[in-house]
């Protein structure tokens, strides 16, 4: 995140947002904010409330209670100002098979009120950024899935919005297309765009997002960096230590510590779960050496975003 571009107010803000469909609480008292230049990952199972939240932010739906803000403007009271500042990329989008890429983006540039040099400049930049400049004359019906996703991203960013809402942008993409999309999202954030992105591909989100929010049954269960959520839920790291002379003395020493669990002995190798981040583990290694253990291998593996997700959620659908 570029610290120099951080605004004094959040670019995206949900304030006690509620959206009900009959007895189903699709969004149930959700609050969070996202600042400029930040990529925020919105995580949850199908039916958790992610798309409903995004539709409200995109002024396509209204909450029953609460409010949502884009760059300080309410989606309820100032929807026109919100739309000028927002680009929305839905999980499914309409295309027109009888037009080419340049015509499609030009149509949306005109729809946003861009004219003359501003429109041509926006088209050149957007097509160059998304890599569609070489496919300008290609009919949309002939595009691959990855190129169609780039086209949809181009449609969302053609009017140079300050905020982008991306709903499952990597769905159905091959590995190369996902990597390229991730790089484009990080570049947009580096240029000062604020991005909220949902995805089921948690490894992708872990690599591109500054913060994440986990939602299930309409309720926000956790929010922060992956490390912050790990600390908040006391998630342990998996540590492996190899010592000379056999691991039994080390196992006995570890068994006396309250911050160590699940000890497994395998000859000179000992595996266990340990509380704390990298600084705590560095101190732990120092204590091992001072205790007289001849350590020849020490490694740890932090819980992944998938591990965090499985720990926080219960797999319940509405």
Same domain as 85, residue 46: yes
What is the overall mean pLDDT for the chain?
88
- CA separation, residue 156 to residues 91, 108, 110, 149 (Å): 12, 9, 13, 11
What number is the average pLDDT over the span 72-85? 96
**Of 231, 256, 273, which one is at a domain's C-terminal end?**
231
Q: What is the pLDDT of residue 30?
A: 96
The reply to whether 210 and 243 lie within a common domain is: no
Q: 46 with 167, same domain?
A: yes
Query: Does residue 151 fall inside a structural domain?
Result: yes
What is the structure's pLDDT at 79? 96
CATH number of the CATH domain containing 248: 3.30.70
Contact between 281 and 274 (Cβ < 8 Å): yes
**pLDDT tier at 125 (50, 70, 90 boundaries)?**
very high
| Residue pLDDT, tens place only, 232-259 | 665 667 889 999 988 899 999 999 988 8
Which contacts (CB < 8 Å, 24+ apart) does range 173-180 have? 173/145, 173/146, 173/149, 174/145, 174/146, 176/146, 177/145, 177/146, 177/149, 178/204, 180/131, 180/146
Tell me if 314 is assigned to some domain: no
**Does residue 120 carry a pLDDT above 90?**
yes
- Is 315 a domain residue? no
pLDDT tens digits along 32-64: 999 999 999 999 888 889 999 999 999 999 999
Provide the angle, in degrees to the nearest 10, between the axes of the packed helices 175-190 and 116-130. Answer: 130
- Give yes or no for residue 302 having a pLDDT over 80: no
Bridge partners of 287?
A: none
| 158: containing domain | 3-231
Within a domain: residue 310? no
Tell me the β-bridge partners of 18.
28, 65
Prediction pTM value: 0.79
Q: How many domains does the chain have?
A: 2
Specify whether the CB–CB gap between 84 and 161 falls below 8 A.
yes
Q: Does the structure show a pLDDT above 90 at 280?
A: no
- pLDDT average, residue stretch 268-284: 82
Residue 205 lies in a domain: yes
**Are 142 and 286 members of one domain?**
no
Q: Which of 214, 231, 248 is the last residue of a domain?
A: 231
Are residues 254 and 225 both part of a single domain?
no
- What is the C-alpha to C-alpha distance for residues 210 and 258, in angstroms, rounded to an integer? 32
């Amino acid at each position: 995140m570029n610290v120099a571009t951080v605004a004094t107010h959040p670019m995206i803000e949900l304030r006690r947002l509620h959206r009900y469909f009959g007895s189903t609480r699709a969004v149930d008292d959700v609050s969070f904010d996202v600042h400029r230049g930040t990529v925020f990952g919105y995580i949850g199972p199908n039916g958790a409330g992610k798309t409903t939240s995004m539709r409200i932010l995109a002024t396509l739906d209204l909450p029953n209670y609460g409010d949502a803000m884009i760059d300080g403007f309410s989606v309820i009271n100032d929807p026109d100002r919100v739309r000028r500042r927002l680009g929305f990329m839905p999980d499914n989008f309409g295309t027109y098979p009888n037009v080419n890429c340049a015509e499609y983006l030009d149509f949306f540039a005109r729809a946003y009120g861009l004219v003359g040099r501003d429109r041509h400049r926006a088209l050149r930049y957007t097509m160059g950024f998304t890599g569609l400049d070489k496919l300008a004359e290609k009919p949309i019906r002939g595009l691959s899935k990855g190129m169609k996703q780039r086209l949809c991203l181009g449609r969302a960013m053609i009017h140079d919005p300050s905020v982008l809402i991306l709903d499952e942008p990597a769905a159905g993409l091959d590995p190369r297309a996902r990597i390229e999309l991730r790089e484009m999202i990080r570049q947009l954030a580096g240029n000062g765009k604020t991005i909220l992105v949902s995805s089921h591909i948690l490894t992708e989100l872990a690599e591109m997002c500054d913060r994440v929010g986990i939602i299930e049954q309409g309720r926000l269960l956790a929010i922060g960096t992956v490390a912050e959520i790990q600390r908040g839920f006391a998630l342990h790291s998996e540590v492996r230590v190899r010592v000379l002379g056999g691991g039994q003395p080390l196992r006995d020493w570890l068994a006396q510590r309250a911050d160590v669990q699940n000890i497994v002995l395998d000859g000179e190798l000992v595996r266990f779960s340990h509380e704390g981040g990298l600084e705590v583990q560095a101190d732990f290694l120092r204590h091992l050496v001072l205790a007289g253990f001849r350590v020849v291998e020490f490694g740890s593996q932090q819980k992944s975003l998938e591990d965090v997700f499985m720990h926080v959620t219960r797999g319940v659908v509405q």
